[in-house]
């Protein structure tokens, strides 16, 4: 399976305005670059007004939209038939990481993530994704009794990473998968950023790092195992300070889903910032 790879050069859009930003925003405060907040506001206004001309300027050439049913669309498809966006009236939470920014607008079970990339002096939206979480968390799927190991993705994946940034991000990702399969909280913790969140269709709320470590601990005590789903397809994007992967994953006898992840390099190692998981209905 081929991975499509894009680096993050530069293009342009403009500036000004404020949003309430959490005090623990990492690496850079959003109000240090008001052009990001303005671009996000313009985006919401453009969708509300069905302004295709504005959206042509705001959407990156590699833009992907994934709705709450797991339908994936490209920039071209979106501009042909503009959809509505969810939680457009929700005050956003913003984290900036150099040339990329994560915008979250969550309300009750509906979670919305917008990922922006800086192109030159301006910002372009590269991902819009929705996760509609269940009202009550579903139990994790048990490991296949006929299998004693996690082959894909723990050991092998259906492509060979070539560029250095791919290898740097893929290797710790597989480490996370192995730690989850083996209920190894000690191996899992250093590969996950402190501000990590996991937003999964199968859960009733986003999980933070502490939640995931507690979940791993409970499974270990119970003697239960659940293998991560196999990787089917992925696209990767290098933003400089961060790397993003949009992956299609599949468990046996279950629905596939899109899982977007992002990593940031800290203290010489790549740590996962989020996992955003939409089941394909």
CA distances from residue 267 to 1, 72, 174, 185, 270 in whole angstroms, order as listed: 32, 35, 19, 20, 8
Pick 164-279's CATH classification: 3.40.50.300, 3.10.450.50, 3.40.800.10, 3.20.20.70: 3.10.450.50
Question: Could you tell me what percent of the chain has a pLDDT over 70?
Answer: 85
The domain ranges of the chain are: 4-132, 164-279
Convert the pLDDT of each residue in 188-237 to its tens digit: 999 999 999 999 999 999 999 999 999 999 999 999 888 899 999 999 99
Mean pLDDT of 42-54: 97
> Which class is 4-132 in CATH?
alpha beta
99-120: per-residue pLDDT in tens?
A: 999 999 999 999 999 999 999 9
Is the fold of 4-132 the same as that of 164-279? yes
pLDDT higher than 80, residue 142: no
d(CA 58, CA 162): 30
- What value does the mean pLDDT of the chain take? 87
| pLDDT surpassing 60 at residue 239 | yes
* Average pLDDT of the segment spanning 234-259: 93
pLDDT at 139: 77
Whole-structure pTM value: 0.87
| Structure confidence at residue 143 (pLDDT) | 60
| pLDDT, tens digit (0-9, with 9 covering 90-100), for 145-185 | 455 689 999 999 997 776 777 789 999 999 999 999 999 99
- pLDDT at res. 271: 97
- pLDDT over 60 at 257, yes or no: yes
């Amino acid at each position: 399976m081929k991975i499509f790879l894009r680096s993050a050069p530069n293009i342009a859009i403009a500036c000004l305005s404020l949003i309430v930003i959490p005090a623990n925003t990492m690496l850079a405060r959003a109000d240090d670059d008001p052009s990001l907040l303005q671009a996000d506001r313009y985006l919401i206004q453009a969708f509300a007004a069905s302004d295709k001309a504005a959206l042509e300027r705001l959407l990156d050439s590699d833009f992907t939209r994934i709705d709450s049913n797991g339908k994936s669309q490209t920039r071209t498809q979106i501009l042909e038939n503009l959809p509505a966006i969810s939680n457009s009236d929700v005050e956003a939470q913003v984290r900036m990481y150099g040339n990329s920014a994560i915008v979250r607008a969550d309300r009750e079970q509906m979670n919305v993530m917008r990922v922006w990339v800086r192109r030159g002096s301006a910002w372009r939206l590269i991902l819009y994704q929705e996760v509609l979480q269940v009202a009550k968390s579903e139990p994790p799927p048990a490991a296949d009794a006929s299998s004693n190991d996690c082959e894909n993705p723990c050991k092998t994946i259906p492509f060979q990473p070539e560029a250095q940034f791919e290898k740097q991000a893929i290797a710790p990702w597989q480490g996370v998968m192995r730690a989850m399969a083996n209920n190894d909280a000690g191996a899992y913790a250093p590969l996950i950023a402190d501000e990590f969140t996991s937003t999964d269709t199968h859960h009733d709320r986003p999980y933070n790092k502490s939640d995931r470590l507690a979940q791993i601990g409970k499974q270990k005590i119970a003697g239960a195992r659940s293998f991560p789903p196999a990787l089917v397809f992925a696209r990767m994007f290098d933003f400089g300070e961060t790397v993003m992967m949009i992956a299609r994953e599949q468990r046996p006898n279950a629905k596939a889903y899109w899982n977007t992840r992002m990593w940031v390099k800290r203290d010489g190692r790549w740590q996962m910032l989020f996992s955003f998981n939409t089941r394909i209905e």
